[in-house]
């Protein structure tokens, strides 16, 4: 994972969600320590694909359900172009197989929106917050 190469720097995050309010909440949540740094936000799958290529974030937090293109479609596209990219899926809907679906398409995992936090993101990515935040 790219993030392991920069063990003392915050991990660079691209937030993808069609709800601006949710992106704001996640940005605030992730800014509580030095583990993550939000470097970009996208409101659609197409915008996510473009920004992932432009910004090369360490992690993409991707909403599953968006109007223009699902997060699943956007994730497949991103991972086909950048197979080493780390994508974590999220949704307001109950899990209903999203963990398995995430694994099938190559995402790092799934976190329900109500459980999305610095700790849950670190656990999903298999990293120790102390190793990242110096």
What is the SS3 string spanning the chain?
A: CHHHHCCCCCEEEEEECCCHHHHHHHHHHHCCCCCEEEEEEECCHHHHHHHHHHHCCCEEEEECCCCCCCHHHHHHHHHHHCCCCEEEEEECCCCCCHHHHHHHHCCCEEEEHHHCCHHHHHHHHCCCHHHHCC
pLDDT value for 134: 43
Residue 34: band (very low, low, confident or very high) from pLDDT cuts 50, 70, 90? confident
Residue 7: band (very low, low, confident or very high) from pLDDT cuts 50, 70, 90? low
pTM of the predicted protein model: 0.88
Q: Report yes or no: 60 and 52 within 8 Å, Cβ to Cβ.
A: yes
Domains and CATH numbers, the chain: 2-94+107-132 (3.40.50.2300)
pLDDT value for 3: 41
What does the mean pLDDT of the chain come to?
A: 88
Q: Is the pLDDT of residue 29 over 60?
A: yes
Q: Which of 2, 7, 13, 9 is nearest to 111 (CA)?
A: 13
Q: Is the pLDDT of residue 96 over 80?
A: no
């Amino acid at each position: 994972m790219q993030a392991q190469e920069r063990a003392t720097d915050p991990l660079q995050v691209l937030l993808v969600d069609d709800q601006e309010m949710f992106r704001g909440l996640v940005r605030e949540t992730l800014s509580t320590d030095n583990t993550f740094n939000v470097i970009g936000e996208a409101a659609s799958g197409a915008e996510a694909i473009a920004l992932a290529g432009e910004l090369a974030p360490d992690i993409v937090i991707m909403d599953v359900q968006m109007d223009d293109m699902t997060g699943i479609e956007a994730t497949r596209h991103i991972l086909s172009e950048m197979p080493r990219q780390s994508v974590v899926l999220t949704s307001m809907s109950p899990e209903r197989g999203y963990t398995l679906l995430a694994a099938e398409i190559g995402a790092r995992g799934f976190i329900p929106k109500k459980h999305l936090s610095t700790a849950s993101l670190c656990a999903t990515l298999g990293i120790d917050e102390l190793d990242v935040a110096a």
